[in-house]
Structure 1
């Protein structure tokens, strides 16, 4: 999948791109079934909410064949190769599960400051790609973004907030308020198969999910190969990968073919 000049200009200005219904129902059915299997496993790569329900499953492409196929999908790989002008490697692959009724808040944050601080990533030449596994509604913990916030760069003016089960480095309210005055706040919604790409310095977060509707999203973080990690990493390898081998785009219909030969759920 190649981006148009107009899409490239929009990304540079706004910091994100959204593609509704990028993956079809057949592809999503097999991904949904495999995600349910993964999140039910007692693996060390799965972090949990205070209630014990899964919050994030890391490195899923390494122990699940279907998600490994997804990791090479040209709809995910090619746009980033185009933006960075070089091959990309997988910095992180995860499923975030905003569980029905109990999904907790993700406070406002930028990703690159953590990648730089904890992983040794030199520059924000990496990007998140979010594939909706479930329908993302305005009411079930939709991911919120502040357009144009990537233009502020990586902000050290942040604080540790331990109010959720995921300790992190979160932006102060006055910083978020200033960003929102400039760019507003959006919450892209859509059916399973919708695709969101956003800049490494984009401010984003999610409210809790108090509805009966789960909101699972697959996140790939792809980084320019020249932007590989330096120094000693502070997080487990399954969170911040140290294999900088370029991710090669696979066949356009590989996931669909895998779906047609999948075992029944």
Structure 2
């Protein structure tokens, strides 16, 4: 695919041939105002600048224990093991992620509708929202593998047809996040730059990319330039803390070789005004458990 092959009017062309570029973002990070929800003006301004917000103590210790038990139940469910929504580690076969978890688990469906979560998502995106993707992530001690540097929006745009980066991810820690157990690393402010990626999207790319992403990741030169410009922050905090980050944020994580596991609930909210189209750089749509196409607003 070349730049001339991309859809007319596409402000974020990617999966190109030739030399990739870093393109300026043409849309805001924060779409709402202080009057639209519980987040104050200063926090919204900081989110607009950095692209992420840490919400400490979103869940109480008792709630953390309840959701942790739900994660244990889901990972132990033999009936789920053969489900395509369950992603396992390529080397160990242990559960890595379970997708569509707000559909599988009523407990997590309630969390998605919780005003502490839903109202913040609406405020950041300035509209009603729906769930683009949900999952639980498991990173066990000693064996947990990380995720290479990437922008989620690059994949969602190329393979799912998300028109603009008007989406936000909420990652709720169910275990303590230390600097040394594979915690998420982000480049603050990087959401203002869209990094093109090289290479044509293979058919059914999701079947391998959910375990080991090879297409849709920036090259090392671009990562080096981004790190030099924006720096790297790492998400740490106690269980129950939530990290909100923009869909175009450059982020990644390293392997967990410590004894301390790291697990989280991960929900992506998309604006109902940003519903998916046909993929911008793939031959077909990914399954709905990865890219939800029902844009019915989430209600309390």
Q: Indicate how the Cα distance of structure 1 residues 94 and 163 shifts in structure 2: closer, same or farther if over 3 A, else same.
A: closer
Question: What is the CA-CA distance between 1:75 and the residue it aligns to?
Answer: 1.6
Counterpart for residue 212 of structure 2: 166
Contact 1:21–1:190 under 8 Å retained in 2? no
Separation in structure 1 between the aligned mates of residue 197 and residue 93 of structure 2, nearest angstrom: 32
Counterpart for residue 2 of structure 1: 38
Question: What is the CA-CA distance between 1:167 and the residue it aligns to?
Answer: 2.5
Counterpart for residue 9 of structure 2: none
Q: Choose from 279, 292, 297 the match for 1:241.
A: 292
SS at match of 2:227: helix
Contact 2:148–2:213 under 8 Å retained in 1? no
Q: Choose from 220, 223, 235 the match for 2:270.
A: 223
Counterpart for residue 255 of structure 1: none
Please list every run of 5 or more consecutive structure 1 residues that lacks an aligned counterpart in the other structure: 251-265
Separation in structure 2 between the aligned mates of residue 35 and residue 81 of structure 1, nearest angstrom: 26
- Size of the aligned set, in residue pairs, is 248
- What TM-score, normalized by structure 2, do the two folds share? 0.79
SS at match of 2:195: coil
Separation in structure 2 between the aligned mates of residue 164 and residue 127 of structure 1, nearest angstrom: 19
- What TM-score, normalized by structure 1, do the two folds share? 0.89
Contact 2:125–2:168 under 8 Å retained in 1? no
SS at match of 2:267: strand
Question: What is the CA-CA distance between 1:82 and the residue it aligns to?
Answer: 1.2
Contact 2:197–2:217 under 8 Å retained in 1? no
Q: Indicate how the Cα distance of structure 1 residues 40 and 121 shifts in structure 2: closer, same or farther if over 3 A, else same.
A: same
Question: What is the CA-CA distance between 1:158 and the residue it aligns to?
Answer: 4.8
Counterpart for residue 113 of structure 1: 154
Contact 2:102–2:112 under 8 Å retained in 1? yes
SS at match of 2:222: helix
Question: What is the CA-CA distance between 1:96 and the residue it aligns to?
Answer: 1.3
Question: What is the CA-CA distance between 1:164 and the residue it aligns to?
Answer: 9.0
Counterpart for residue 155 of structure 1: 195
Contact 2:87–2:210 under 8 Å retained in 1? no
Alignment of 1:1-265 (within 5 A): 2-41=38-77, 42=81, 43-50=83-90, 51-152=92-193, 154-158=194-198, 165-168=211-214, 169-231=216-278, 234-248=285-299, 250=300
Please list every run of 5 or more consecutive structure 2 residues that lacks an aligned counterpart in the other structure: 1-36, 202-207
Question: What is the CA-CA distance between 1:241 and the residue it aligns to?
Answer: 1.0
Question: What is the CA-CA distance between 1:165 and the residue it aligns to?
Answer: 3.3
Q: Larger radius of gyration, structure 1 or 2? A: 2
Contact 1:59–1:94 under 8 Å retained in 2? yes
Counterpart for residue 257 of structure 1: none
SS at match of 2:233: coil
Question: What is the CA-CA distance between 1:61 and the residue it aligns to?
Answer: 1.0
Question: What is the CA-CA distance between 1:163 and the residue it aligns to?
Answer: 10
Contact 1:105–1:164 under 8 Å retained in 2? no
Question: What is the CA-CA distance between 1:65 and the residue it aligns to?
Answer: 1.4
